[in-house]
């Protein structure tokens, strides 16, 4: 299987030396779970797209510091591409910004949340377990970093998991689109870097809770297995 990663942001250069760019994080996570997986990276923020939509089998949209409601040409073009993928029933996974952009592109809405920043390790509870779910614990512990939230889902979307802080945390559209508000590709040290960098912006109460939460184990690999199962169905 060939997975096209739609890159929507660049990692700070000093962080990239340690953790890689966002596509590198997904290659590391998914590649170790399926060594036969092939990857193609398209820097859509810089206008890179496949010459043929079928040159890969599925797509994944990364996280970004941008907001999906910003008036940026590259975001509008990416929304058009998402609509084309949806129309073609092409497999698509959205992560954080990608999760929010899918909703925005397909009839939903994303806004800056009055609840403030979600950082560190959050627990999202599954109300429904789809076929790709492992059937285990209904609670998912996943690293998050976001202030924007989906407040209205894409047309025809099913909300699978959420929390009091983030109601629309895992969402599926048909059998071809799956999106997560959380970051399975993150590791705790990278979450720590982001929280330290944004400490003043996040606010001290959320910062302290977020930092303390990193002592608990996260389930990024579990989500990675779900993503692979979903893509192969």
CATH of the domain at 131: 3.40.50.880
Domain around 34: 2-232
What average pLDDT does the chain have? 98
Active site residue 185: yes
Provide the percentage of residues in the chain whose pLDDT is more than 70: 100
CA pair distance 134, 227, nearest whole angstrom: 11
| pLDDT (mean) for 133-144 | 98
Chain-centre distance for alpha carbon 141: 14
Could you read off the pLDDT of 28-85 as tens digits, one per residue?
A: 999 999 999 999 999 999 999 999 999 999 999 999 999 999 999 999 999 999 999 9
Place of tokens 């944004």: 198
Handedness of CA 100, 94, 168, 21 (dihedral sign): negative
Active site residue 128: no
In sequence order, the 6+-apart residues with CB closer than 8 A to the CB of 35 are none
170-173 and 2-7: which strand pairing? unpaired
Tokens of residue 143, six digits = 């690293």
Check residue 89 and give its pLDDT. 98
Contact 169, 184 (CB under 8 A): no
**Which of 122, 133, 146, 183 is an active site residue?**
183
DSSP 52: S
CA angle, corner 27, sides to 26 and 28, nearest 5?
Answer: 90
Check residue 57 and give its pLDDT. 98
**Which of 45, 99, 122, 185 is an active site residue?**
185
Instruction: Give the count of domains, the chain.
Output: 1
CB atoms inside a 10 Å sphere around CB 138: 13
C-alpha distances (whole Å) from 141 to each of 59, 104, 118, 222, 231 are 24, 25, 13, 10, 22
91-95 and 177-180: which strand pairing? parallel
Check residue 51 and give its pLDDT. 97
Check residue 55 and give its pLDDT. 97
C-alpha distances (whole Å) from 48 to each of 38, 45, 77, 93, 213 are 18, 7, 11, 18, 37
CB atoms inside a 10 Å sphere around CB 199: 16
| pLDDT (mean) for 196-211 | 98
Q: Mapping DSSP to helix (H, G, I), strand (E, B) and coil, where does residue 126 land?
A: strand
**Which of 96, 146, 166, 219 is an active site residue?**
96
Chain-centre distance for alpha carbon 106: 16
Active site residue 183: yes
């Amino acid at each position: 299987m060939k997975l096209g990663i739609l890159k929507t942001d660049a990692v700070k250069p000093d962080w990239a030396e340690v953790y890689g760019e966002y596509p590198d994080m997904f290659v590391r996570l998914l590649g170790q779970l399926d060594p036969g997986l092939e990857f193609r990276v398209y820097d859509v923020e810089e206008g890179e797209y496949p010459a043929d939509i079928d040159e890969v089998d599925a797509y994944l949209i990364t996280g970004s510091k941008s907001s999906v409601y910003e008036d940026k040409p590259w975001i509008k073009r990416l929304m058009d591409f998402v609509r084309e993928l949806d129309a073609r029933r092409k497999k698509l996974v959205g992560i954080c910004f990608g999760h929010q952009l899918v909703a925005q592109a397909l009839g939903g809405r994303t806004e800056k949340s009055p609840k403030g920043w979600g950082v560190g390790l959050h627990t999202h509870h599954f109300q429904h377990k789809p076929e790709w779910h492992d059937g285990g614990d209904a609670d998912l512990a996943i690293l998050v970093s976001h202030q924007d939230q989906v407040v209205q889902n894409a047309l025809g979307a099913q909300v699978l998991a959420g929390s009091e802080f983030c109601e629309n945390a895992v969402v599926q559209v048909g059998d071809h689109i799956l999106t997560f508000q959380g970051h399975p590709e993150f590791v705790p040290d990278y979450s720590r870097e982001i929280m330290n960098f944004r400490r003043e912006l996040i606010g001290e109460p959320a910062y302290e809770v977020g930092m303390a939460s990193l002592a608990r184990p996260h389930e990024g690999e579990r989500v990675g297995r779900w993503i692979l199962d979903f893509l192969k169905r």
